[in-house]
Structure 1
């Protein structure tokens, strides 16, 4: 590909600025699809605004999807049809079936699909992953994530591609898979069971095939609440932990705390290097699909009121 990446952004919500800033820092030429909020982003960052999706895809080597989850599949398929690489915000799709369809379409087209699970690029979580072999047999993992609840109504509706487990907890479901491996059983609770405003809390217990248990909690708090996330890993020979309150505090709104190495830029740099070299990125299409499989199982557990076997 050309030395100057040509990137087309689809989506103009709260997660768009970190992606735009990351691409610009990497020397990319960035365009954004015209939709609500895009004009302000175009003026803020000096990026080109494109009127149609077809035009955006045609002018891009990489399409970066940061739009609502329910739109991911159709946009990705349109990009793959023009043999464009795709970066897609988590979760890949509303269902694991659709997520797998995205992965399969990318493979068929001979292009790359990169699920944007940015927590894998946070220094503290990376360190836990690198050092986990030193704790012996994994016994128990605990994850906690709290943010101010989103403002858009679709985030609260699982049927519309939202829901706290699908939109927020998926970060830590992916971490549980990254650290402890495949899962055999999923059990989920949520308080309240259905909700269209905060506070909302969900708890998912994962039984890994290797015997470890992961406890994963996510909370959508009242507007203005500070971001916080933490993880701990207990093994037969020791334990590891990471806590964002101990590494720089919380940034404004629901974005993770700032650090010396911006995880969004690190994530996009990894994807770009993977395209240029042909190697795997830190997060693969299979990783993105596996996280959505756990989301599907968690919602099935909520509906059935019992654990779900995978």
Structure 2
């Protein structure tokens, strides 16, 4: 896809994360179509985009397929896009299991197309500044992350055995941040309160994880799904031998209810999609690679294994 080629974004999924993706594509001048699902018609009317009834038709029309549907659908939708030679943007987590995430990355490579895991937090200004400032604080010692949001509306989010779960859906943002800021992880330990019952977790619920990084740094992560009135909040601190870096959404932008971040002058969803499009056109790596997506899912798998056994998991 060169710079003169029309950008056609095919959206698969019409849930709460679809609008910021649609708005990001529109800001980039893309033509957009969305697969007919519950809520798709309303989104189409709101944003002036068209609805397509058939996934194969949507994929054929698209230059990039943007998957924002439930996690269990990612594998099939992405494979069908690869089979038609289409690039794929895939909301986090890349897949339900590490094995499936590895498979997706390999199949994209085999098809000669690009796969972009949508870990949007890497495009938030505050987290970018933390990444850029790491050199000023010396050897990393301790990282702390907390993410609190209103629990989602759709039931599938609460089925840990079917692609949902607090750690898989929400904490994965900060698992990815821990990897991005402090590097590979050697050990994972996790707890959840209250624990899932028969694979189902019910809010209010909190999860906690401790990561021991290969370089000796330790990350502490805390994620919450609370009531519908909850205002999104994300906090992070990174401590090194020479100082500390901090970020808190409570002090940046306009707070809003739900599970989307505060508004800001730089839209991270647009920045993310712009990075992906430029990576396709130039052949360079995007800020988030398939390997990054795989690494985050691997930590999710380890966290759930720790929940199951009650013991730390070595990687």
CA contact (8 A) 1:153 1:196 kept: no
Give the aligned partner of residue 175 of structure 2: 173
**Per-residue CA distance 1:150-197 (angstroms, 9 max, x = gap):** 111110111110000000000000000000000000000000111543
Aligned partners of 2:202 and 2:178: how far apart in 1?
27
2:231, 2:79 → 1: CA distance? 36
For the residue of structure 2 that corresponds to 1:87, the secondary structure is strand
The answer to whether the 8 A contact 2:90-2:115 is kept is yes
Q: CA deviation at 1:249?
A: 3.9
2:58 aligned to 56, 60, 76, which one? 56
**What displacement does 1:250 show?**
2.0
Consecutive unaligned residues of structure 2, counting only runs of 5 or more, are none
SS at match of 1:175: helix
Match for 1:95 among 94, 97, 102?
97
Taking the aligned partners of 1:165 and 1:247, their CA distance within structure 2 comes to 25
Q: 1:235 to 1:254 in 2, by over 3 A?
A: same
**Contact map agreement 2:186 2:211 (CA 8 A) in 1:** yes
CA RMSD of aligned residues (A): 0.8
Q: Is the 8 A contact 2:254 2:264 kept in 1?
A: no
Hey, what does 1:30 align to over in structure 2?
32
- The count of corresponding residues between Structure 1 and Structure 2 is 310
Structure 1 residue ranges, 4+ long, deviating more than 4 angstroms after superposition: none
SS at match of 1:184: strand
**Residue 278 of structure 1 aligns with which residue?**
283
5+ long unaligned stretches in structure 1:
none
**Which residue is 1:149 aligned to?**
151
Deviation string, structure 1 residues 13-40 (Cα, Å, up to 9, x no partner): 0000000000001000000000111010
Q: Where does 1:120-135 land on structure 2 (aligned, <5 Å)?
A: 120-135=122-137
Which residue pairs with 1:164 in the alignment?
166
Return the alpha-carbon distance in structure 2 between the equivalents of residues 105 and 257 of structure 1. Answer: 36
Deviations 1:109-161 (A, max 9, x none): 01000000000000000000001111111000000000000111110111110
User: Could you say which residue in structure 1 is the equivalent of 2:194?
Assistant: 192
Measure the CA separation in 2 of the matches of 1:252 and 1:220. 12
Distance in 2 of aligned mates of 1:68 and 1:201:
21
